Structure 1
Amino acid sequence: MPSPFPGMNPYLEREDVWPDFHHRLIDRMAEAIADQVDPRYLVKIEEHLYVQESPELPHRAGPRADIGVKRGEGAVGQGPGLALLEAPARITIPWPDVEHQAYLEIRDRASRELVTVLELLSPANKVRHRGQHVRERDQVIVSTSHLVEIDLLRGGEPMPSPDRPACVYSVVVSRADRRPEADFWPIRLREPLPIIPIPLREPDRDATLDLQDLLHRVHEAGRYARYIFDSQPSPPLSAEDAEWARGIVAAARDEGADRAKG
């Protein structure tokens, strides 16, 4: 079933739901844009690689070597009878926290030049690896590429902007030829998600993304209604918004039960 909420579904923001939702939504966005810009442009799903030393994480077993040498056997290049030397001590090397985060690139098909970067923010780049992501974001902003940034998460601090209006969710469209100014869509919890432009190169017209339609399609394809409403939204909603959300979920369940009986 489509999402029962008029706009963003706050239950999709939970940590056990968001990675799957992010993956599915990025895929749908890529398809929707490609349908509009082919054959002039390529739409590619790329990945950020975030690596951060995290000594507080529990130890995880590393990759196995393809070839091992048994204790007592001679090392390569050594004569028979020479045993491997034992180290006098053992230490722990901090295991890095590694995350892959998908985003979209639109490139000129002929030149392969980067035209537009589309980011769907996640806890990976909004919170856990924020510093690295802001630096990568700055590199796009000082380039000749457009930037589209979609934030459908209530958790974490918004991306830097000194005059950003207060809102729950947001979309930023930063056109290379209009910087430092950017178009901004502030979105409230109970508002429908907007149809947004995806800028290309002049004189080509913008592509568009209907975010609300895409969310409904992904919600239905992911069968999220089967399990996401069993727990509360995270981060928690205000008391008023939580009551509103419970009413929507209850009505959706009643409607589903009626359809099953029919």
Structure 2
Amino acid sequence: MPSPFPGMNPYLEHPSLWAGIHHRLITAIANDLAPKLRPKYIVAIEERVYEVNGDTAVLVGVPDVSVQSSLSLARSTESNLAVVSPTMPIDVLLPMPEILTEAYLEIRAVETEEVVTIIEVLSPKNKQVGIGRLQYETKRLKILGSATNFVEIDLLRQGNSMPMAGNFLPSHYRIVVSHSETRPKAQLYGFNLPDRIPELIVPLKASEPELRIDLKPLLDQIYDQGSYDLRIDYNRPPIPALSESDMVWVNERLQQQM
């Protein structure tokens, strides 16, 4: 069964599914671009690796709050301390290091190995407060200060959007295309759940014609290949949650298509 939505499928944003979607989408974009770039350019799948403390990177730098809370709790329960045996251990949870790997794409010139364009597909860690966002924003600023073109694809409603300024309306999803020669100006494709995902431009050298990527058929292909119609329960609301009006539209769409 094909995806029942004309654009982005909000059920694919589920935390248990997105890692697979991200991996497949990066690969699908690379496979779509590769024959269009020959023979002057290649597209390479690269990886960014970093370590966080479990799923709570935001705890780094705020130990005083935890200590204060513990002390307050101890003071409030001093009268009960006598009944607790010091020889009886209590189970606690400790933060565990977690190695995260994120893939992105580089378009390189065959002759010089120069990186002409970088394409990023955002992950939840990029949009949450913590080391993942900090490292991504650091890399983002480095790219924007270079002569490399930049494409940023955000298909996640939840989290904090990447910083940018301008007279634009909020939207569920965003794609940003930044030509190196026109910075700080960039093109923003903002679209919502009922909208078809716009074709996006992939810039190369200033004197060369731009390429286009149509993400919708790529996502539909991923949906079929990953058998997501068997993995998604459309009788339940999507996670992250939608607004009441968006949920009404989703239910109407599902009734029409299923």
Indicate the residue corresponding to 1:4 in structure 2. 4
Higher Cα radius of gyration: 1
Indicate the residue corresponding to 2:121 in structure 1. 120
Q: Give how far 1:217 is off.
A: 1.5
Indicate the residue corresponding to 2:51 in structure 1. 51
Q: More displaced, 114-123 or 95-104?
A: 95-104
Contact 1:8–1:193 at 8 Å: present in 2 too?
A: yes
Q: Give how far 1:236 is off.
A: 0.5
* Mapped pair 1:135 → 2:138: yes
Which amino acid in 2 is paired with 1:149? E
Q: Which runs of 5+ in 2 are unaligned?
A: 58-93
Indicate the residue corresponding to 2:251 in structure 1. 246
Indicate the residue corresponding to 2:151 in structure 1. 148
CA distance in 2, matches of 1:184, 1:244: 25
Q: Deviations over 1:114-168 (max 9, x none)?
A: 1100001011222251111100100100011000001000000100112253111
Please list, as runs of the form range in 1=range in 2, the aligned pairs for 1:88-127 lying within 5 A after superposition.
Answer: 95-127=96-128
CA distance in 1, matches of 2:163, 2:2: 33
TM-score when normalising by structure 1: 0.78
* Mapped pair 1:187 → 2:191: yes
TM-score when normalising by structure 2: 0.79
Q: More displaced, 43-52 or 8-17?
A: 43-52
Indicate the residue corresponding to 1:234 in structure 2. 239
Q: Give how far 1:202 is off.
A: 3.3
CA distance in 1, matches of 2:55, 2:228: 35
CA distance in 2, matches of 1:94, 1:247: 43
Aligned pairs, number: 219
CA distance in 2, matches of 1:222, 1:130: 28
Contact 2:181–2:206 at 8 Å: present in 1 too?
A: no
Q: Give how far 1:245 is off.
A: 1.1
Percent identity over paired residues: 38
1:199 to 171, 193, 203: 203
Please list, as runs of the form range in 1=range in 2, the aligned pairs for 1:52-71 lying within 5 A after superposition.
Answer: 52-54=52-54
* Alignment RMSD: 2.0
CA distance in 1, matches of 2:231, 2:98: 29
Q: Which runs of 5+ in 1 are unaligned?
A: 58-92, 254-262
Which amino acid in 2 is paired with 1:168? H
